[in-house]
């Protein structure tokens, strides 16, 4: 049935949301406040809005070449060799991002849930389970994303509810008091939290309603911005500016803080973490999927299952490279940032400019 090979726009939107929101949400309040104090919410919004033009650019590219997927377009515009090299860079980006997410996830699980279990086991298990998801077709990813979206919203709602009694909104003040010279570096920091939205580009060609995709992508980005903002506001209200600067993962620490013994609500981080496992899983899966799809297009094979299995040991090795948590965030993170810049900005911009130029040349 025709319907079966397509993915609905709603599913694309959910795919975007669940892929982007992974481990970034844990440390985001801390990173923003470190740079900009109480005004950390500004770069969050601006960073998110900054992604939109790139999404628009890519939409235009697709409209110029309807019914072609991104690899075909790229090859047409730039020629097979150059584009393949470009794709390999993007592939490396996906792989490194996957390793980064897996590693941070394992660190968090180790800290809160399983203290003595070796990190390797945690990483291997989550990678294997992600492989199960990555081996499916894009429609299945869309469906899983919709199901996980429900869990994500539940999680955020839960966090809001439990923090309301103890939250002190005055902690948000003072506003507009920070050193605005640091704004650009803050925005770039926030921008990296939106990484992962590129997976929707792969879903583009399978959508059942190509004209409206952009609307949904923007809606998805707005939801992500909204969720990041909500988390920022509640963590700041609950902790105050100084404690946030110290907490490594303020988002989970919210659950730690809640203590309403009269209502039998204590030690809630278990629930938060349990739900969050599924959220991270929905980030890892699509990234792995995207990486293996690139392989598929470079080597033009029928399906990408094989590449998924091939990639897993590579990702595993990369993820256990950093020696400790600090190295993960500092060195690894920095390397990743370069890749993210290339991917978020690079793909759309390059394709767009290239496509425009080609159109102009062919007209002239």
Partner 1 sequence: MKKLLVLLLISSLMLTSGCWDSREIEQRLFVTAIAVDINEEVQEGNVNRLIVTYKYPNINTIGKNSDGGHINFTLSVPASGISQASTAFMGEAPFPFYFKHLKVIIFSKELLEHEELVRHILDELNRSPQINKRARIAVTEGKARDVLKVTAGQEYRTEGGIYQVLRSNKFTNRFTVKSLTDLITDFDVAGVTIVPRISIVSGKFVVSGGCILKNYKFLAWVDQNHNRAINIMNGIIGLENIDTIYNGTLLSYAVTRGYSRKKVTFDDGITVRFDIKLEGYLQGYNISQKNQVYDEKTLEDIENNIEEELEKKILETRKFLDEIGAPLFGVGEHMSKFHPKMWKQVKDNWQEMMPEVKFQLNINVNIRRTGLTK
Partner 2 sequence: MVDKISKDIKENVEEFKNTFKDADDLVYRNIKIGKKNKKEACLIFIDGMVDKSVISDYAIEVLFDEMEIDESNLDSYKTSLSEKISEESIAVHDVKEEDSYDKLVDMILAGETVLLIDGSDKALILSTRGWPTRGVQEPQTETVVRGPRDGFVETLRFNTALLRRHIRDPKLKIKTLQVGRRSKTDVAVVYIEDIANDKIVEEVINRINKIDIDYLPGSAAMEALIEDSYLSLFPQLENTERPDSAAASLLEGRVVIIVDNTPFVLMVPATIGTLFQSTEDYYSRWPIGTLVRFVRILSAILTAVSPALYIAFTAYHPGLIPTAFTLYLAASRVNVPFPAVIEAFLMEITIEILRESGTRIAGPIGTTIGIVGGIIIGQAAVEAGIVSPLKIIITAITTISFFAIPSYEWASSLRIIRFAFMFLAAVLGLYGLMLGIAILIVHLAKLESFTVPFSAPYSGLGLKEGDLKDTLVKAPIQKLKRRPQFTFPKDKTRMK
Task: Write out the two tokens for 2.
Answer: 């025709």
**Taking the CA atoms of the chain, what radius of gyration do you get in angstroms?**
21
| Residue 125 binding partner 1, by CB under 8 A | yes
Query: CA-based diameter of the chain, in Å?
Result: 76
8 binds, among partner 2, partner 1, none (CB under 5 to 8 A by kind): partner 2
Strands (E), 186-314: 259-260, 265-266
Q: Is residue 2 within 8 Å of 13, Cβ to Cβ? A: no
Q: Which long-range contacts (CB under 8 A, 24 or more apart) does 124-129 make?
A: 124/316, 126/102, 126/280, 126/281, 126/284, 127/102, 127/284, 127/288, 127/312, 127/315, 127/316, 128/312, 129/281
Q: How far apart are CA 153 and CA 147, in angstroms?
A: 10
| Residue 267 binding partner 1, by CB under 8 A | yes
| Residue 116 binding partner 1, by CB under 8 A | yes
First vs last C-alpha separation in the chain: 43
170 binds, among partner 2, partner 1, none (CB under 5 to 8 A by kind): partner 1
Cβ proximity to partner 1, 124 vs 328, nearer residue: 124
| Residue 1 binding partner 2, by CB under 8 A | yes
| Residue 313 binding partner 1, by CB under 8 A | no
| Residue 154 binding partner 2, by CB under 8 A | no
* H/E stretch holding 264: none
| Residue 109 binding partner 2, by CB under 8 A | yes
Residues that contact partner 2, how many (by CB under 8 A): 43
144 binds, among partner 2, partner 1, none (CB under 5 to 8 A by kind): partner 2
Cβ proximity to partner 2, 153 vs 353, nearer residue: 153
Cβ proximity to partner 2, 35 vs 284, nearer residue: 284
Q: 168 exposed, middle or buried (CB, 10 Å; 0-12, 13-18, 19+)?
A: exposed
Cβ proximity to partner 1, 79 vs 118, nearer residue: 118
| Residue 171 binding partner 1, by CB under 8 A | yes
Residues that contact partner 1, how many (by CB under 8 A): 33
Residue ranges that bind partner 1, judged by CB under 8 A: 111-118, 121, 124-125, 128, 131-132, 170-171, 173-174, 177, 239-240, 242-243, 246, 253, 256-257, 259, 261, 266-267, 305, 309
């Amino acid at each position: 049935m025709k319907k079966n090979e397509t993915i609905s726009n709603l599913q694309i939107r959910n795919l975007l949301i669940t892929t982007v929101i992974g481990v970034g949400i844990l440390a985001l309040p801390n990173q923003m406040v470190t740079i900009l104090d109480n005004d950390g919410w500004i770069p969050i919004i601006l960073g998110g809005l900054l992604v939109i033009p790139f999404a628009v650019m890519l939409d235009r590219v697709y409209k110029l070449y309807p019914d072609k997927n991104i690899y075909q377009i790229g090859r047409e515009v730039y020629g097979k060799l150059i584009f393949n090299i470009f794709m390999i860079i993007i592939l490396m980006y996906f792989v490194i991002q996957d390793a980064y997410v897996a590693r941070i996830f394992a660190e968090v699980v180790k800290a809160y849930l399983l203290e003595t279990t070796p990190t390797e086991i945690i990483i291997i298990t989550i990678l294997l389970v992600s492989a199960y998801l990555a081996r499916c077709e894009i429609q299945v990813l869309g469906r899983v994303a919709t199901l996980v979206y429900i869990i994500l919203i539940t999680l955020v709602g839960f966090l809001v509810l439990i923090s309301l009694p103890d939250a002190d909104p005055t902690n948000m003040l003072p506003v507009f008091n920070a050193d605005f010279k640091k704004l650009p570096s803050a925005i770039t920091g926030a921008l990296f939290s939106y990484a992962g939205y590129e997976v929707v580009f792969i879903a583009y060609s399978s959508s059942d309603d190509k004209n409206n995709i952009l609307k949904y992508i923007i809606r998805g980005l707005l939801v992500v911005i909204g969720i990041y903002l909500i988390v920022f506001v509640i963590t700041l209200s609950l902790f105050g500016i100084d404690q946030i600067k110290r907490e490594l993962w303020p988002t989970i620490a919210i659950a730690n803080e809640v203590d309403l013994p009269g209502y039998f609500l204590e030690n809630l981080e278990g629930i938060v973490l349990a739900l969050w496992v599924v959220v991270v899983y929905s980030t890892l899966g699509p990234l792995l999927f995207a990486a293996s799809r690139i392989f598929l297009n470079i080597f033009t094979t029928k399906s990408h299952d094989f590449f998924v299995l091939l990639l897993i040991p590579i990702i595993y090795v990369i993820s256990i490279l950093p020696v400790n948590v600090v190295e993960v965030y500092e060195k690894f993170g920095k390397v990743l940032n370069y890749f993210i810049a290339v991917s978020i900005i690079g793909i759309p911009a390059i394709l767009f400019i290239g496509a425009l130029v080609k159109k102009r040349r062919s007209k002239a």
